Structures are given as structure tokens and as C-alpha cells.
Amino acid sequence: MKTVLVTGGSGFIGSALVRWLLAHTDVHVVNIDKLTYAGNPESLADIEGDHRYTFIHADICDQKTMQQAFTTHKPTTVMHLAAESHVDRSIDSAAEFIQTNIVGTSVLLDTALDYWRDLDGAERDAFRFLHVSTDEVYGSLGSEGLFTEETPYDPSSPYSASKASSDHLVRAWHRTYGLPVLITNCSNNYGPRQFPEKLIPLMILSCLDDKPLPVYGTGENIRDWLYVEDHVEALWLVVSEGMPGRTYNIGGHNELRNIEVVHMICDLMDELSPSSTHASYRELITYVSDRPGHDLRYAIDASRIASELGWKPRETFETGFRKTVQWYLDNRDWWRHIQQGTYQGQRLGLKGVNNG
Ligand SMILES: NC(=O)c1ccc[n+]([C@@H]2O[C@H](COP(=O)([O-])OP(=O)(O)OC[C@H]3O[C@@H](n4cnc5c(N)ncnc54)[C@H](O)[C@@H]3O)[C@@H](O)[C@H]2O)c1
């Protein structure tokens, strides 16, 4: 049986990936996660007892534990998602981003390289290391054009700079040591089980709590939204059929201005869970100071993964979005438990404002 070692499997995309692998393949899944504020065991509570699932509570920066995990579980595939992932938090403090995203990735690469070199024959040929990255490494687009896999790197935030660094390390381990790596750079994900500091869940929960809906700047920034299940399906396709050393961009063909996203949330919430105090949730929209270094537009050219691997997203924003809002309405315990912890929807990332 194949064993897939997933890092960051208790996070938003990682938990969707673990669930997808168990449902759609016959692999054994080993999830390594440090359970930071963003890692949530409740996202995997219903599959905990699955005999094809193993959880290791560990930090990817801990080389000894990583070596033990590789030696014990003998992965055929590594899918590396563990990261500090929130731009606003990276503006407040970059240290954890540098530690996990850069140092942690280098520890995993070294561990994987030692392990891969000791494999022989077919096992060595079949081994793959997938690094999951972001389109934010390419910087900002103007009103025209799309990010391709050849777009030069030009990251703006401490988060995207740390992801860009990790991408360079991954490519270097391929060119220098021949490690069979693949890299994916994807656009903004949305879907169930996303930590409520991110735009879409923050807006849904703020509607439910009758709180202001904070829109950064003028709300004109454009993102290309990708439904999380479309993303994880693409990740499996890339690691199973993609060419080692190659990069694949993944995008949802769903470009929207942030204010359009917020309007859509309000309208859907008006339909599915109307407010008792407001005629429309749009009344709660409040413009706040912009994020420092806020990239204007991201949009992905996903033609390589479409033409070479036959992937295209199943969900449109309308269909994926309805599923997402409904999930937050149906799973209030999941996010109430988060709200009872350290995060209550407060504004993050203000350190760069006024150069503070
Ligand atoms: N969410 C998006 O829209 C998006 C877009 C593009 C790329 N990505 C990338 O996809 C990956 C997953 O993103 P996400 O949104 O699921 O992130 P997330 O913040 O929801 O989850 C990250 C997970 O990594 C774990 N983790 C953090 N530091 C760790 C460490 N040192 N050791 C072990 N585990 C650790 C956390 O506990 C958490 O479970 C990241 O690499 C991110 O950069 C995300």
C-alpha cells in the first residue's frame, strides 16, 4: 500500500486533502502537524479512527522527529502543506514564517533527500515530494495579464517572501541533488473548515454575530478564488502524474473584486439566514484602512495543468460559495470553539500601517 506523508494536514487545505485521499484513493495517510492556532483536530475528528490514517503531533523543524517519521512510515509520497499562512500575521511578526516556511521546508528537504537516497529501484523511481505554494510569490498584477509558471518572483509581504524562499529551496534540491520534487502555486482557496481570520469565513461569522464587515481600502483588490476540493484534487493529480522538477499553477478561473465577494456573502446570507436587525447584511459593510503592501490583483493562467494533466475546476464561485456558506451555518460548533479560544475576529496586520 502507498503511504502519503502530508504535512499541515490539520489545517484548512491539509484537512481537505487528508479527507479526499481517504475517500478517493486506497493510500495510507500520515499527517504531521504541530497544531498551531490554525491546526484544528476537530477538522478531522470523524476520520481519526480510520485504519488508513496516522497522526503525528510534531514540528517540521524538528529534524530528529522528521527522520523517525520517514524511517517508521516509509512514505512513497510527501505532500508538504505545513506553513504559517496568514499575510496579516506575517506583517505583525515574521519570525514564525521564516522558521516554519523556510527552515521547516529545508529540514523536510534534507530528511527526504537522505531517505530517498537509501531507497532502491522502483521505490526510488516512484518517490515524489510535492511542495504546495502560493501565487503570491509572483507579486501583484495590474489590470491585465495572468500569472504563468514563468512569471518572475516578486513577493510583497513577509508571508509571500517566505513562501518564495521555500520554493527556491525546493527547486535547488531538485537541480543540485536530483530530488524528484514538484511545486504548485495556487490562488486563494475557499471552502469548509477555513480559519475565520480569512476573508470569507470572517465575513460569514461577522454577519451571524451582527458585527461590522471590515473591507480593506476600497475593496477593489482582485483575487482568483479556488474551491478547496478542486485544489486538493489537482494536488493529487500533480503528485501522481506531473513531471518531477516542474511547476504547475492552479487557479479557479474566478476573478472577483473583494467588494464583490462581500456583496455575494451578504446576499447569500440574506437568503439562507436573514438578519433580525438589518434589511440586508450589506448594511454592516465598513471600509477600514488598507493592508500595507496590499497586492492589487492576482489571477492564474492554469493552462499548463489543464493541457498536460487534464485538470479543470469542478466548482464555479456560485456553486462552491453556496456550499461554503451552508457549511458554516451547519457546523456552528466547529467555529464557536475557535471563537472561544484566542481569535475573536479582531483586525490583524496593523504593524505596517503608519510604519508602526
Ligand atoms: N489558503 C490559501 O488560500 C492558500 C493559497 C495558496 C497557497 N496556500 C498554501 O497552502 C498550504 C496550506 O494552507 P492552509 O490555508 O491550509 O493553511 P492553514 O494555516 O490553515 O494550516 C497550516 C497547518 O500547518 C500546521 N503547521 C504550521 N506550522 C507547522 C510546523 N512548524 N510544523 C508542523 N505543522 C505546522 C498548522 O498547525 C496548520 O494545521 C500552505 O503552505 C499555504 O502557504 C494556501
Torsion on CA atoms 218, 342, 57, 180, rounded to nearest 10: 10
Please report whether residue 150 resides in a domain: yes
Please report whether residue 262 resides in a domain: no
SS3 147: strand
Q: What is the phi/psi pair of residue 195, to 5°? A: -55, 135
Please report whether residue 129 resides in a domain: yes
pLDDT at 259: 96
Please report whether residue 114 resides in a domain: yes
Q: Which of 81, 98, 102, 226 to mutate to test the pocket of ligand 1 (most atoms within 8 A of CB)?
A: 81
Alpha carbon distance 49, 42 (integer Å): 13
Name the residue at shortest CA distance from atom 7 of ligand 1: 134
Please report whether residue 284 resides in a domain: no
Query: Which residues carry out catalysis?
Result: 135-136, 159
- CATH of residue 57's domain is 3.40.50.720
Alpha carbon distance 32, 287 (integer Å): 39
Alpha carbon distance 139, 295 (integer Å): 7
Please report whether residue 98 resides in a domain: yes
pLDDT at 295: 86
Please report whether residue 328 resides in a domain: no
pLDDT at 349: 75
Please report whether residue 50 resides in a domain: yes
Distance (Å) from CA 273 to ligand 1 centroid: 30
Q: H or E stretch including 74?
A: none
pLDDT at 183: 98
pLDDT at 356: 38
The dihedral through the CA atoms of 328, 330, 336, 338 has a sign that is: negative
Q: H or E stretch including 32?
A: strand 28-33
SS3 24: helix
- Tens digits of pLDDT across the chain (356 residues): 899 999 999 999 999 999 999 999 999 999 999 999 999 999 999 999 999 999 999 999 999 999 999 999 999 999 999 999 999 899 999 999 999 999 999 999 999 999 999 999 999 999 999 999 999 999 999 889 999 999 999 999 999 999 999 999 999 999 999 999 999 999 999 999 999 989 999 999 999 999 999 999 999 999 999 999 999 999 999 999 999 999 999 998 899 999 999 999 999 999 999 999 999 999 999 999 888 888 889 999 999 999 999 999 999 989 999 999 999 999 999 999 998 886 667 767 767 665 43
Q: Which residues line ligand 1 (CB under 6 A)?
A: 7-8, 10-14, 32-36, 38-39, 59-61, 81-85, 100, 104, 132, 134, 163, 186, 188-189, 195
pLDDT at 292: 85
Distance (Å) from CA 8 to ligand 1 centroid: 6
Q: Are strands 53-57 and 28-33 parallel, antiparallel or unpaired?
A: parallel
Alpha carbon distance 43, 285 (integer Å): 29
- Residue 136 belongs to domain spanning: 3-190+228-253+295-314
Q: Per the structure, how many domains does the chain have?
A: 1
Q: What pTM does this model have?
A: 0.96
The cell numbers describing 106, all together, are 529545508
The cell numbers describing 278, all together, are 438589518
pLDDT at 343: 62
pLDDT at 352: 63
Q: Which of 15, 19, 36 to mutate to test the pocket of ligand 1 (most atoms within 8 A of CB)?
A: 36
Distance (Å) from CA 101 to ligand 1 centroid: 9
